[in-house]
Copies of this chain bind each other. A is one copy, B any other.
């Protein structure tokens, strides 16, 4: 049986465990005020090309999303997101729990289009009753999206222009950022993201770490006293070094990018294999998530040899399923899977 249901099935990249072992008995101050956090932050800001920025390390994605969003919004504001955005659908209402509405716009392949956001804002401000509605206060996107798709640099630039016109900050959820940056054909670099977004995070949990997301504010000042907000949200690790050491390792010698690339290689191999066997794909994605359309017979057969995630039912009765690769996927597992289908 081969397992491809998600990209967080294994522990951490061995290099991370090695560093955890080496440093284990060192004594460091708590709450992220240790040398490893400092070092990780510096390396991250450097790679992002924004040495004057700010980095905060948190534990997981939902936590990061709701903490960042609620820190930025004023009480009467909501966050614009694609209907399929993680914050809209799959976080048990974490954003609403902080008192803010998620203002959904239908996305296209998981992406928010600049034009749709502009139209939304135009309609909103043209409505004589808009003060009775939730004010749009920021825009949330993910890259890669929930559907494994990627924004182009043009698309991000256009979104930025719309947001500039309406003075809305952009928050990019990069839970799988590495897999987006290392995908074939993408023209978006981490420096572009630093330039085009007001805040974003670099996912660790799904890219080699046991846990951890690194929130980057390319410029200081968007939020104040964020440390206290993190604490208030229960997102402050006492042993912050656990996050610091992991990100320091990931951002030493480009490890984050190397292991991300590995996942892409594995995904492309898997994709090619399925295509050769005549499988139909739901979308043509270039990242580590691959969506395949299965009829009932295929579904049944595949279920016997692999674990994957059911994504959605199509109107014609067929099922869209997701296969994920990750930094940990072994080429031999792909080979074995492909040999069995």
Contact = CB atoms under 8 A, between A and B. Distances in A.
A142 interface: no
Contact of A60 (B17, B66, B89, B237): B237
A63 interface: yes
A304 to B, nearest CB: 17
Contacts of A14: 24
SS class, residues of chain A in contact with chain B: loop
Most B CB atoms within 10 A — which of A14, A89, A96?
A96
Nearest to A88: B101
Given A90-B132, A133-B90, A239 B211 contact: yes
Interface of A: 3, 5-6, 8-12, 14, 17, 20-21, 23-30, 59-67, 70-71, 74-76, 78, 89-94, 96-102, 128-129, 131-135, 205-206, 210-211, 224-225, 227-229, 231-239, 241-242, 310, 328
B25 A11 contact: yes
B10 A25 contact: yes
A69 to B, nearest CB: 11
Contacts of A205: 238-239
B24 A225 contact: no
Q: How many copies of the shown chain assemble into the complex? A: 4
A274 B160 CA distance: 48
A23 to B, nearest CB: 7
A234 to B, nearest CB: 3
Contacts of A3: 27
Nearest to A126: B313
A237 B59 contact: yes
Centre residue among A26, A100, A132 by max chain B CB count within 10 A = A132
Contacts of A61: 238
A71 to B, nearest CB: 6
Contacts of A233: 63, 94, 97, 234
Contacts of A98: 75, 97, 99
Which among A11, A78, A100 has the greatest number of chain B C-beta atoms within 10 A?
A11
21 contacts: A10-B25, A11-B20, A11-B23, A11-B26, A25-B328, A59-B59, A59-B234, A62-B236, A76-B229, A91-B132, A92-B131, A92-B132, A92-B229, A93-B133, A96-B101, A96-B134, A128-B310, A131-B228, A131-B231, A233-B234, A234-B234
A210 B239 contact: yes
A67 B12 CA distance: 27
A89 B20 contact: no
Contact of A94 (B93, B224, B231, B239): B231
A248 to B, nearest CB: 14
A76 B228 contact: yes
A261 B278 CA distance: 63
